[in-house]
Amino acid sequence: MALEDRLAAAMAAAQGGDAAAYRALLRDCLPVIAGMARAQGVRADGIDDVVQDTLLTIHKARATYDPARPFLPWLRAIAQRRAIDVMRRGGRRPREVHDPVAYEAHADHEPVPGQALETRERDRALAQAVAALPPGQREAVEHLAFRERSLAEAAILTGRSKGALKVNLHRALKALRLTLTRDKGEGDV
């Protein structure tokens, strides 16, 4: 029996209350989730976190799986989201380096002369471009991108649907990209 068929059958049985099938499903998902996490670019020290987070999500969302549909795409969607969560968390935490060669090979993080001015100018241009957006697009950028709120949180705070927020964010990013690349091009002339 193919992996897809075996996992789908185990999930369907688990949804019917078969505890042994559920244990087998979770056990068989371990290497699949780990492989998906590696393919997503998760560092070796984050693979276990992705696996655990994915298994918890499967447990919480198991009732949402439709046995008439393939199992692996459902699992992949969950694993990809958990991998992104782990990579975001890892990016916010400074990592300790214990390798003496890494200290010598790693570039200094000293600011380049004039970099602070360039950063302030870029931040000012971004603030102006965001301020020029229509209100719905500006709210989507502020809540979803700047404050990193979830769609659900932003929907509650703005009174807009999740779909409307997604559309507004997409349009805002497109408008910002056009505005900022056009402004950059004019400054380079």
Written as one letter, the residue type at 97 is V
**Whether residue 142 sits in one domain with residue 66:** no
Rounded to two decimals, the pTM is 0.48
Structural domain for 181, as ranges:
130-188
**Do 82 and 8 belong to one domain?**
yes
In a domain, 121, yes or no: no
Q: Is residue 84 part of a domain?
A: yes
Return phi, psi of residue 97, to 5°: -110, 125
* Amino acid 27: pLDDT: 94
Residue 115 lies in a domain: no
In a domain, 152, yes or no: yes
pLDDT digits (tens, 9 = 90+) for 64-88: 999 999 999 999 999 999 999 988 8
Q: What are 81's two structure tokens?
A: 């989201």
CATH number at residue 37: 1.10.1740.10
Q: State pLDDT tens for residues 8-61.
A: 999 999 999 999 999 999 999 999 999 999 988 888 888 999 999 999 999 999
49 dihedral zone (left: phi>0; alpha: psi -120 to 50; beta): alpha
> Of the residues 92, 109, 141, which one is the last residue of a structural domain?
92
- Domains of the chain: total: 2
Same structural domain for residues 11 and 88?
yes
- Do residues 17 and 71 share a domain? yes
Using CB atoms within 10 A of its CB, is residue 54 exposed (0-12), middle (13-18) or buried (19+)?
A: buried
Whether 134 and 85 share a structural domain: no
Could you tell me how many helices (H) and strands (E) the chain has, helices first? 9, 0
Q: Is residue 119 part of a domain?
A: no
Q: Domain holding 170: CATH number?
A: 1.10.10.10
Q: Give every CB contact of residue 85 below 8 A, 6+ residues apart in sequence.
A: 53
- pLDDT above 90 (res 187): no
User: Average pLDDT, whole number, for the chain?
Assistant: 84
Burial 134-144 (b: 16+ CB within 10 A, else e): eebbebbbbbb
Please indicate, yes or no, whether residues 84 and 136 belong to a single structural domain of this protein: no
Residue/partner pairs of 13-16 with CB below 8 Å, 24 or more apart: 14/62, 15/62, 15/63, 15/65, 15/67
Burial class (CB in 10 A: 0-12, 13-18, 19+), 149: middle
